[in-house]
Amino acid sequence: MRIGLALPQYDCSLPGVSPLPFDTVCEWAARAESLGFDSLWLSDHLTWDLAKYGGDDTRYGVYDPLVLLGALARATTRVRLGTLVLCEALRPPAVLAKSLAAIDLLSGGRLDVGLGAGWYEPDYAAIGMAMPSPGVRVARLAEALQIVRPLLHDGAVDFTGRFHDVHAHNDPRPAQAAVPVFVGGKGDKVLRLIAEHADGWNTCWSWTVSDYRERVAVLDAACEQVGRDPATVWRSLGLYSLCGESEADLARRFERLVSLTPNGVLDGMTLARWRVGRLVGTVDQVREQVAQWADAGVETLVVGAGAVPFQLVAGDDVELLAAALTGV
């Protein structure tokens, strides 16, 4: 099992740190690499709020993931770097592939590319675009995949579709012969799209093993329908994570998480409830959970060390998760 970390990226990612300094992100990347994490991950929004998670609608600043990954490519030496996930509508796919190839070169071939259909309405409003229906968003994503992936795998594409008409070459080529391109999501149409056009699948941030296995069955069936070996789909999973050295230590860390998380997100939440669908427990319990996820087919586990995406509450939480998980 490979273990990744969702890096702080937003002005609400670290308690009491706003705005989030660029140097702090780089320091966390270097720290995660030294702790043994295999990969580092960023998300993709033009602005951000926590209303979906129970917080208020305060808008927070965020670093552009492509620019930041380019910087991290030079600030790290070993870890893989990835997007979890890029919003299809925010960049023309051929231009996106050009940027991604440059990042892969800068990193020496350490890039993993996640693409998604988009879901956050303010992103669309910011670019003057009405957010399309879910079906249209998935259709746009399908076309983007058929442009970005060939440009990162083969270096050229000729594609004419409903939304895009692209005839492009991508030089210089990435360092990797074929940069992995995966899709984030969980619906039937998205899983079918993955079977047809993507190298892998990701979903985040709260899942039970049984619910995940049900989605795996849908993905496997989609692969079989299009004549693809399901084993060729790389599977990654993001989970909110919290580890304790003992039950008492876990309870203490959870209380700290509640106290340092933005108001509204964890109101009324108990540790017993927080364990469900998340990677939460003592060191031995967390390792047992990881074994269950591996048995369910997860190859890369991305740790979210907070209560909202790309939040880090405390350095010693990350250190204990690294000690428990890296090398399992």
Average pLDDT of the residues in 128-140: 97
pLDDT band for 289, please (50, 70, 90 cuts).
very high
**What token pair was written down for 232?**
């060729």
The conformational region for residue 311 under phi > 0 = left, psi -120 to 50 = alpha, else beta, is beta
Average pLDDT of the residues in 1-10: 97
Among the four given CATH numbers 1.10.10.60, 2.40.160.40, 3.40.50.450, 3.20.20.30, the one describing domain 2-325: 3.20.20.30
What are 241's strand-pairing partners?
279
pLDDT band for 327, please (50, 70, 90 cuts).
confident
Summary mean pLDDT of the chain? 97
254, 248 Cβ separation under 8 angstroms: no
Average pLDDT of the residues in 23-34: 97
Average pLDDT of the residues in 285-304: 98
Residue 35 has pLDDT above 90, yes or no: yes
Average pLDDT of the residues in 108-119: 98
144, 168 Cβ separation under 8 angstroms: no
Range list of H helices, the chain:
22-35, 65-75, 93-107, 121-126, 134-153, 188-197, 209-225, 247-260, 271-275, 283-295, 315-325
In the chain, the N- to C-terminal Cα span, in Å, equals 6
pLDDT band for 328, please (50, 70, 90 cuts).
low
pLDDT tens sequence across 52-61: 999 999 999 9
C-alpha span between 317 and 241 (Å, rounded): 9
pTM of the model: 0.96
Q: Where are the domains of the chain?
A: 2-325
61, 11 Cβ separation under 8 angstroms: yes
Residue 22 has pLDDT above 70, yes or no: yes
pLDDT tens sequence across 175-219: 999 999 999 999 999 999 999 999 999 999 999 999 999 999 999
C-alpha span between 32 and 58 (Å, rounded): 29
Q: Tokens 């509640």 belong to which residue?
A: 258
Size (the chain), residues = 328
Number of other CB atoms surrounding residue 90 within 10 Å: 17
Q: Find the largest Cα–Cα distance for the chain.
A: 60
- CA distances for 15 relative to 18, 110, 145, 307, angstroms: 8, 30, 37, 12
C-alpha span between 181 and 175 (Å, rounded): 14
Q: Is 229 exposed, middle or buried (0-12, 13-18, 19+ CB in 10 A)?
A: exposed
